[in-house]
Amino acid sequence: MSRGRDKVCLIKLRDELEALGYRDGDTLFGAPYDLRHAPPPPGQPSQVYSDYFARLMGLVQHASKKKGDKPVILVAHSFGGRVVLDFLNSTPLPWRRRFIKHLFLISPSPPTGYMLAVTNLASGSSAVQLPTVSSLALRPMWRTFASSFLSMPAPRVFGHRPLVITKERNYSAYDYPDFLAALGFSTHEIVRFVKRVLPTMLRVDAPMVPTTYLNGIGFRTMEQVMYLEGSFDAATETVYGHGDGAATLASILAFARELESQQRRNNTFFKFVKIPNATHAGIVIEEHALRRVMAEILQANNS
């Protein structure tokens, strides 16, 4: 895990809100989720997320009641953005319009995907870090998490360009079954991936509530990785493009365009804010980025 209180996700944002008078448990509520699990595709079961979504719905209604039955603002970052989108799309539209005033997606994990999901599977996760344990040692554990598959680059965005290059062959976003087999996943695991994960790569469902999507840009971001020494234990070379350090600009823009298109067709507010020189994590930590995030939240709250 990152060291230092200010490095913890959303701590500084919470502190900024509390400095304005918001109070934890009264006008400010958290909804932590279990990173190991993945929201299921529409129509497929998940007891973990059925229970979580029910609790989250109750929390939203509780927060609304504390606010005099007014609608609430939802703020989500990183994988939490993916979770909250799936939550909202699991609720009836009249409920959303009754209880949600505004949704803020801050550098969400886009369903259009990013390369870190690929390298985390191949070489060990950068999302879970322990001081005395290497990413490679954590790799077997990470591969058991359903969420580890969820943000792999989407074929319709990344196309047939090779994402992974090895001595034997190259793998694009259309070659995931073969890539997973090369990593040692079983046929059963690959079939499960095709049934439960691939469908989520092929669709973006906008929340149909007023939404502001904020994302950093301007940092080098992985686009392609090479494993040329006969194993997936460590990449031998990485090719970089532009993005927020996690998601490429192409993935970010594809997600934003699809959200905007759907929201506009339904006459629902949507705003996309690009914050220069802000990383995926730094957008809620670094002063210049956090100041812009806070300004957007306060504007929505006062409208």
Catalytically annotated residues: 78, 244, 280
Report the alpha-carbon distance of residue 9 to residue 168 in Å, rounded. Answer: 39
Residue located via tokens 């965005």: 157
The residues pairing with 221 across neighbouring beta strands, listed in sequence order, are 241
Residue 58 CB partners (closer than 8 Å, separation 6+): none
Q: Which two tokens stand for residue 257?
A: 């365009």
Owner of token pair 């090895």: 166
Query: Rounded CA gap, 243 and 253, in Å?
Result: 10
Q: Which of 12, 45, 10 is nearest to 31 (CA)?
A: 10
Residues 6+ away with beta carbon under 8 Å from 292: 214, 273, 275
Residue type at 37?
Answer: H
Do the beta carbons of residue 297 and residue 291 sit within 8 Å? Answer: no
